[in-house]
Amino acid sequence: EKGTFPFYMLKEVSEQPAVMRRLISRYVDQAGAPQFDQAMLEALASADRLYIVAAGTSYHAGLVGQSLFEQLAKVPTEAYLASEFGYHQPLLSAKPMFIFLTQSGETADIRQVLVNVKQAGYPSLTLTNVITSTLAREADYAVELAAGPEIAVASTKAYTAQVAVEALLAKALGMVKQVPAAAAFDVAHQLSLAATGQQALIDQQEQLHLLATDMFGKTRNAFFIGRGTDYFVSLEAALKLKEISYVQAEGFAAGELKHGTIALIEQDTPVVAFITDPVTAARTRSNAEEVEARGAKVLRIASASLAEPGDQVIVDDLDPLLTPLLTIIPGQLLAYFTSLDRGYDVDRPRNLAKSVTVE
Ligand code: F6R
């Protein structure tokens, strides 16, 4: 039931802080240590490389997961599009383990990979919101995202739940492998800060509506830029805008703009810049200035400690690995209000189905 919300999407965006808190109480014990099935952790710990296989929004969550597993568990990790992996399988490591990230657990492109992986005898884990789904049943292990039913076609709370569960798993794996970075990473504290920060952004929705109208009210195209984790959020924010408002949007690695795409910048072209990483903040800011000098209308979404006068959206500080849990909220809400302003059916965009059961 969507209750007082005009659309499921807004309801599901608003539920994200509660999902973060639910994941803490579900997966973290009194001492602050994540708890998962021991056999599954042992399988993960004996892998020499993790392959995260997913589609769409879940793939974007997988890109964030790649850094989490590499930095907290020190295991080489690669995120792949399921629809590509199925036909262009990379040369695998000696002891790979597969992680299938999927809200619905029914995505055909992933199932095709899973069938091959099982045939080859490699271990597999499905992270899914639907624990009774095909991919949960067919993998060796399954972990529930516990985001609650997601009805709107555009995925929102499943994305943040995926990032949070990847962080919990990466921490648990890092503890098994005695990685110092994992010991120093207080995942429950980070997720609880994320919940508070998400709520603060959800509470600013009127202001985000005004920004959406100003930025995307009349445009036919838009760009989202960032580096590293901010680049991965750019991909997801662009997908949200595309699928529900039909604005042609591209997520871009900020440094790549000058290698071609900057040719598309005209007077008033909207560019959203994500700035949450202290290491790359200055460079992304200068990329934003380059497009502004060519007439672009720039919206900066920055972390509090990196914010400068004129930045329109400020998110709370969080471990740089987890900032997507915050920065995607304005991404989701800007897309929502653009769709709403244009009078579209936000929950049921044209040409799309909630789960994609054909290859
Ligand atoms: C975007 C969206 C899709 C799905 C993709 C994978 O908002 O919903 O891109 O993320 O079809 O679906 P699942 O996660 O169910 O495998």
**Cα 114 to ligand 1 centroid, rounded to whole Å:** 17
What pLDDT does 355 receive?
A: 82
What pLDDT does 87 receive?
A: 85
Identify the residue whose C-alpha is closest to ligand 1 atom 3.
56
Pick from 39, 29, 111, 41: which is nearest to 69 by CA? 41
Asked if residue 20 lies in contact with residue 198, where contact means CB atoms within 8 angstroms, the answer is yes
- Is 154 near ligand 1, meaning CB less than 6 Å away? yes
**Cα 3 to ligand 1 centroid, rounded to whole Å:** 24
- Is 108 near ligand 1, meaning CB less than 6 Å away? no
- Is 83 near ligand 1, meaning CB less than 6 Å away? no
Task: Provide the ipTM.
Answer: 0.98
**Cα 58 to ligand 1 centroid, rounded to whole Å:** 6
Pick from 26, 32, 21, 342: which is nearest to 160 by CA? 21
- Is 56 near ligand 1, meaning CB less than 6 Å away? yes
Q: What element of type H or E holds 348? A: none
> In angstroms, rounded to a whole number, what is the distance separating the alpha carbons of residues 109 and 58?
12
**Cα 256 to ligand 1 centroid, rounded to whole Å:** 26
DSSP 54-71: E-HHHHHHHHHHHHHHHH
Query: Which of 103, 130, 157, 160 maximizes ligand 1 atoms within 8 Å of its Cβ, making it the mutation to test the pocket?
Result: 103
* Residue recorded with tokens 């690995």: 321
**Cα 181 to ligand 1 centroid, rounded to whole Å:** 31
**Cα 157 to ligand 1 centroid, rounded to whole Å:** 12
- Is 349 near ligand 1, meaning CB less than 6 Å away? no
End-to-end Cα distance, the chain? 31
Q: Taken in order 109, 13, 319, 233, is the CA torsion positive or negative?
A: positive
**Cα 207 to ligand 1 centroid, rounded to whole Å:** 28
What pLDDT does 342 receive?
A: 97
Q: Rounded to whole angstroms, what are the CA distances from 24 to 64, 199, 244, 262?
A: 19, 16, 31, 42
**Cα 227 to ligand 1 centroid, rounded to whole Å:** 23
Output the pTM of the full model: 0.98
Ligand 1: nearest atom to the Cα of 104: 15
- Is 162 near ligand 1, meaning CB less than 6 Å away? no
Q: DSSP alpha helices (H): ranges in 74-177?
A: 82-85, 108-119, 134-138, 157-176
Query: Which of 7, 8, 12, 57 maximizes ligand 1 atoms within 8 Å of its Cβ, making it the mutation to test the pocket?
Result: 57
- Amino acid at residue number 57: T
- Is 236 near ligand 1, meaning CB less than 6 Å away? no
What tens-digit pLDDT sequence spans the chain (359 residues)? 788 999 999 999 999 999 999 999 999 999 999 999 999 999 999 999 999 999 999 999 999 999 999 999 999 999 999 999 988 889 999 999 999 999 999 999 999 999 999 999 999 999 999 999 999 999 999 999 999 999 999 999 999 999 999 999 999 999 999 999 999 999 999 999 999 999 999 999 999 999 999 999 999 999 999 999 999 999 999 999 999 999 999 999 999 998 988 999 999 999 999 999 999 999 999 999 999 999 999 999 999 999 999 999 999 999 999 999 999 999 999 999 999 999 999 999 888 888 888 88
Ligand 1: nearest atom to the Cα of 135: 16
**Cα 244 to ligand 1 centroid, rounded to whole Å:** 13
Show the CA angle centred on residue 19, arms to residues 72 and 175, nearest 5°. Answer: 20
What pLDDT does 354 receive?
A: 84
